């Protein structure tokens, strides 16, 4: 035979195969369950046992939670409603939440002025916009954020409008001192002088000036005493103030602990170790009982302000250690790179070192924030009516004597919403600032 018929023929597909869906057992809920719950005999047994336990727990809890007692006005009325339904597992008495939720939220704040703490909370969200979502909020809103603490204090406590204005003037004094004295003095010394002048203004002159202006032009809203504060309004007031103030103070303490100046380092180390070695409840007792002993007779130092100061100092000590951990995690080359650019100490900290250290410290910082917010419940020990203190007061009422779980579930749920939101924001911020590859 001729070799001309023995030709090699190449089979080349001229069209692509159509794309097919992946196997149903590898994607979606079924694929996730196969990978995570039923990947082996041991995991399968654990998953089945866990599922049975969850079903049993739901069988016992859901009938108790789903209870038609929202309109009840006493524990006895709740029992009558539940008894008429013949529920084998009983039921929750949600009437206490329906009747007392405003008290749990606002304490003994006058009902006709509820709009003031509500407005303060709304404005807080606006003020936090430039800090939490800077890429979404106009930059000029930061000026409102700087004024917000004074606006919120005036809304919550009321009184003459001149009190927050003269308080703002103290910070204006600090700013003017830095502006005019920095050219002839060391910036740190100029800051110290400005702070001293501001303290003199606040302590010796601000009250007199505010009183005089109020007499000439009385503008203000009804004053509310601190003893009327309570519930979640009190917890949010103490927690948010301590959180916002503890971060900058903690940063300064962390830098001071690493300072080459012996006196500055010794003071920062002493403060941090002392505060971390003392329980918060001890500091709260100092704020409640002992602090007035060291003040001049007749001095009226607001109890909420005293508690805020102590909680802030406590949180600052822990925040300093979190930030110091972030600073220690930076390689030495970052510091050398800042020096090679000719930056001074504060420029290198502001532009190179601190942004990286804070990014590393985000989980620890947010954990400290969450801990501080939850620790505000300790003020009930010093007879302040936070949600826990109010729950005791509500149960002292004969109509609700014996109600426990419903109050604590509601309080825990509200705290969970706040703390979970902070945790989610922490994860969002970590993803947004992620620059490396995992």
Tally the C-alpha atoms within 13 A of residue 365's C-alpha that lie toward its C-beta: 24
150 phi, psi to nearest 5 deg: -75, -40
Give pLDDT tens digits for 220-272.
899 999 889 999 999 999 999 999 999 999 999 998 898 888 888 999 999 99
Identify the three-state secondary structure at position 191: helix
Q: What is the pLDDT of residue 296?
A: 64
Residue 190 falls inside a structural domain: no
Q: What is the pLDDT of residue 254?
A: 92
For 69-80, what is the mean pLDDT?
Answer: 89
Residue 131 falls inside a structural domain: no
| Cβ(116)–Cβ(156) below 8 Å | yes
Which helix (H) or strand (E) covers residue 160, if one does?
Answer: strand 159-160
Q: Please tell me what DSSP assigns to residue 24.
A: T
Q: Please tell me what DSSP assigns to residue 386.
A: -
For 12-36, what is the mean pLDDT?
Answer: 75
Radius of gyration of the chain (CA): 30
Partners of 159 in the β-ladder: 221
Residue 76 falls inside a structural domain: no
Residue 434 falls inside a structural domain: yes
Distance CA 395, CA 374 (A): 22
Give pLDDT tens digits for 36-53.
888 888 888 999 999 999
Residue 3 above 70 pLDDT? no
Distance CA 144, CA 87 (A): 55
| Cβ(84)–Cβ(69) below 8 Å | no
Lowest mean pLDDT among 11-20, 155-164, 356-365: 11-20
pLDDT-derived band at 348 (thresholds 50, 70, 90) equals confident
For 322-339, what is the mean pLDDT?
Answer: 86
Tokens of 280: 């918060």
Q: What is the pLDDT of residue 101?
A: 92
Distance CA 66, CA 57 (A): 14
| Cβ(109)–Cβ(235) below 8 Å | no
18 phi, psi to nearest 5 deg: -65, 140
Identify the CA nearest to 93 among candidates 402, 412, 391, 411. 402
For 46-71, what is the mean pLDDT?
Answer: 90
Distance CA 403, CA 94 (A): 10
pLDDT > 90: percent of the chain: 36
Residue with tokens 């007792």: 285
pLDDT-derived band at 341 (thresholds 50, 70, 90) equals confident
pLDDT-derived band at 381 (thresholds 50, 70, 90) equals confident
Residue 360 falls inside a structural domain: yes
Q: What is the pLDDT of residue 295?
A: 65
Q: What is the pLDDT of residue 218?
A: 87
Residue 100 above 80 pLDDT? yes
Distance CA 417, CA 424 (A): 10
Residue 327 falls inside a structural domain: yes
Q: What is the pLDDT of residue 1?
A: 47
Neighbours of 380 (CB within 10 A): 19
For 358-368, what is the mean pLDDT?
Answer: 90
220 phi, psi to nearest 5 deg: 175, -175
pLDDT-derived band at 25 (thresholds 50, 70, 90) equals low
Report the CATH number at residue 103.
1.10.3720.10
Residue 438 above 80 pLDDT? no
| Cβ(389)–Cβ(230) below 8 Å | yes
Identify the three-state secondary structure at position 92: coil
pLDDT-derived band at 79 (thresholds 50, 70, 90) equals confident
| Cβ(231)–Cβ(303) below 8 Å | no
Partners of 160 in the β-ladder: 220
Residue 161 above 50 pLDDT? yes
pLDDT-derived band at 27 (thresholds 50, 70, 90) equals low
Q: What is the pLDDT of residue 412?
A: 93
Distance CA 355, CA 350 (A): 7
Residue 222 falls inside a structural domain: no
Residue 42 falls inside a structural domain: no
Q: What is the pLDDT of residue 416?
A: 95
Counting every residue, how long is the chain?
438
Residue 7 above 60 pLDDT? no
Give pLDDT tens digits for 276-312.
999 999 888 888 877 777 666 666 778 898 899 999 9
How many domains does the chain divide into? Answer: 1
The domain in which residue 375 lies consists of 89-109+228-293+307-438
Q: Please tell me what DSSP assigns to residue 296.
A: P
Q: What is the pLDDT of residue 9?
A: 55
């Amino acid at each position: 035979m001729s070799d001309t018929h023995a030709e090699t023929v190449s089979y080349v597909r001229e069209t692509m195969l159509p794309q097919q869906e992946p196997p149903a057992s590898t994607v979606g809920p079924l694929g996730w369950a196969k990978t995570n719950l039923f990947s082996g005999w041991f995991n399968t047994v654990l998953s089945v046992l866990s599922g049975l336990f969850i079903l049993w727990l739901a069988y016992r809890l859901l009938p108790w939670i789903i209870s038609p007692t929202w309109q009840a006005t006493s524990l006895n009325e709740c029992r009558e409603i539940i008894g008429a339904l013949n529920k084998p597992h009983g039921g929750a008495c949600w009437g206490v939440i329906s009747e007392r939720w405003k008290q749990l939220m606002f304490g003994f704040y006058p009902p006709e002025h509820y709009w003031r703490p509500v407005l303060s909370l709304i404005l807080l969200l606006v003020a936090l916009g430039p800090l939490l979502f800077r890429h979404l909020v106009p930059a000029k809103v930061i000026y409102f954020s700087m004024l917000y603490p004074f606006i919120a204090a005036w809304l919550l406590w009321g009184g003459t409008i001149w009190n927050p204005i003269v308080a703002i003037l103290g910070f204006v004094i600090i700013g003017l001192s830095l502006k005019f004295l920095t050219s002839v003095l060391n910036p740190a010394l100029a800051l110290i002088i400005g702070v001293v002048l501001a303290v003199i203004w606040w302590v010796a002159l601000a009250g007199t000036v505010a009183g005089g202006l109020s007499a000439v032009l009385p503008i203000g809203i009804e004053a509310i005493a601190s003893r009327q504060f309570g519930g979640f309004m009190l917890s949010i007031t103490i927690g948010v103030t301590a959180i916002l103030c503890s971060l900058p103070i903690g940063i300064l303490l962390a830098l001071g602990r690493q300072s080459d100046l012996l006196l500055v380092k010794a003071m920062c180390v002493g403060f941090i170790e002392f505060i971390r070695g003392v329980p918060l409840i001890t500091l709260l007792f100092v704020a409640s009982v002992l602090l007035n002993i060291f003040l001049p007779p007749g001095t009226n130092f607001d109890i909420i302000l005293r508690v805020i100061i102590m909680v802030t100092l406590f949180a600052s000590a822990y925040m300093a250690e979190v930030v110091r951990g972030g600073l220690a995690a930076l390689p030495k080359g970052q510091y050398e790179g800042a020096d090679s650019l000719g930056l001074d100490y504060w420029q290198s900290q502001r532009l190179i070192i601190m942004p990286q250290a804070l990014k590393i410290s985000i989980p620890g910082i947010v954990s400290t924030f969450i801990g501080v917010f939850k620790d505000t419940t300790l003020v009930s020990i010093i007879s302040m009516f936070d949600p826990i203190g109010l729950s005791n007061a509500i149960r002292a009422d004969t109509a609700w004597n014996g109600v426990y779980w419903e109050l604590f579930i509601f309080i825990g749920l509200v705290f969970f919403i706040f703390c979970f939101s902070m945790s989610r924001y922490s994860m969002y911020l970590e993803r947004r600032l992620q620059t490396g590859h995992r």
